[in-house]
Structure 1
Amino acid sequence: MQERHPTPDKDTIAQLPPFERLGLDRITLVSTGAEAKEAYAALTDTSAWGFDTESKPTFKVGEVSDGPHILQLATPQHAWVFQLLDPACTAVAAELLALGGIAKAGFGLGDDKKRIVGKLGVQLQGILELNTVFRERGYRKDMGVKGAVAVLFQQRFMKSKKAATSNWASARLTESQLVYAANDAYGAIRVFHALGLA
């Protein structure tokens, strides 16, 4: 019988020292086709990325999101935040997600996958749901990036509620949006490496 491990609760996590996040100096905003090509060259130089998306929240009953509006991909050194507004930029983002041979690791990716297939029309390759890895290793509940960082690094991963529910479809993203989005993907790639999956 496999050993079961407890998932740390909010109060336990709140006591931990903060996880060091990426600052703006290690985050690249990608909004044009030319910028996307540069990001493509840098990203395809590595074998695994942290992966996440953001969509503008829907507040009305029955309102359907036309997201994702943002795609985040990260290495352990840097993160790229793609705005899916310019068709040329979106086409490169789709190409990256369809690439085989590169692991794309993240948390709670079921919804992201459905939306990406719907919006970008690509079949995603190499998607790795990190919650599944934790379940296979004896953790009962979905970990999410906060739980995973607490377990693996004994640190507290900070997330801004304000940024989480902000308008991700905006043509001008704020600094706090960039930091929030980039670090979701960065947290995932750090967890991927800490689990020995590379």
Structure 2
Amino acid sequence: MEANKNIATNHIPKHQSRQIPREELKTYPVYPGLPLAQITLVHTAEQLAAALADLQASAVVGFDTESRPTFHPGQKSDGPHLLQLATARHAWLFPVLNHSLPEELKMLLESGKITLIGFETGEDLRRLRERLGVHCASVLDAGTLFASEKRITVGAVQAVARVFGQYLRKSKKVTTSNWSKLPYSDAQLSYAGNDAWVPLQVYLALQG
């Protein structure tokens, strides 16, 4: 997927090419992230309307998906089970129910009116396309905004350290939790919301 032509990326500096070792990362101040109060799991028609209004008012939106993990060789994921989108001040979480997303949301993702900013977006986009029939029109992988030694992929943890000088803590227990099962814990909600919000914050910081 290519970046939206309306969003200039060629002027963004290739910020800090050095891959920061994990032990050094742990010495950095912890990245605070988006508070739980600004993360909404969309259940109702009213919440969906609020989410769409917020997203439609933004040119760029943070993006991620979550899927139930696989643990056995050859086992295929049946995700995504959750789609996360974030504006500058709020993250909206959309559970994938009955293998579908709300039609209004699908239309927005396919319209090209918003550009999705995420990290390592390839698998997320493939699952949305193949499992849900959603073809996202405009996507930018925030990792491509960084120069990196030996072509190492720059993900959210490295990006936050390089741009903000802080450590984005990611719980392996939450990462590998069962995203197909509701309700979610507060830890899951916080994790999922920030997975979409962080790439947007990195992008906006580099733009500035």
The question of a shared fold, defined as TM-score above 0.5 by the shorter chain, is answered with yes
In the TM superposition, 1:41-52 aligns within 5 A as 41-52=53-64
Which residue among 188, 198, 202 is the counterpart of 1:177? 188
Where do 5+ consecutive residues of structure 2 fail to align? 1-13
CA-to-aligned-CA distance 1:64-110 (integer Å, 9 cap, x gap)? 21110001111121101111116775433322321213121010111
CA distance in 1, matches of 2:133, 2:142: 24
Q: In the alignment, which residue of structure 2 is the partner of 1:82?
A: 94
Which residue among 174, 191, 194 is the counterpart of 2:202? 191
Counterparts in 2 of 1:28 and 1:130: CA distance versus 1, 3 Å: same
CA distance in 1, matches of 2:181, 2:104: 20
Where do 5+ consecutive residues of structure 1 fail to align? none
Counterparts in 2 of 1:146 and 1:47: CA distance versus 1, 3 Å: same
Note if contact 1:116-1:122 (Cα within 8 Å) is conserved in structure 2: yes
CA distance in 2, matches of 1:37, 1:87: 21
CA distance in 1, matches of 2:158, 2:95: 28
CA distance in 2, matches of 1:156, 1:57: 24
Note if contact 2:100-2:132 (Cα within 8 Å) is conserved in structure 1: no
TM-score w.r.t. structure 2 length?
A: 0.85
* Matching of residue 30 in structure 1 with residue 9 in structure 2: no
Amino acid at match of 2:104: V
In the TM superposition, 1:40-79 aligns within 5 A as 40-79=52-91
CA distance in 1, matches of 2:153, 2:100: 36
* Matching of residue 120 in structure 1 with residue 132 in structure 2: yes
Note if contact 1:54-1:181 (Cα within 8 Å) is conserved in structure 2: yes
Note if contact 2:15-2:145 (Cα within 8 Å) is conserved in structure 1: no
Could you tell me the percent identity over the aligned residues?
39
Secondary structure, counterpart of 1:53 in structure 2: strand
Q: In the alignment, which residue of structure 2 is the partner of 1:168?
A: 179
Amino acid at match of 2:94: F
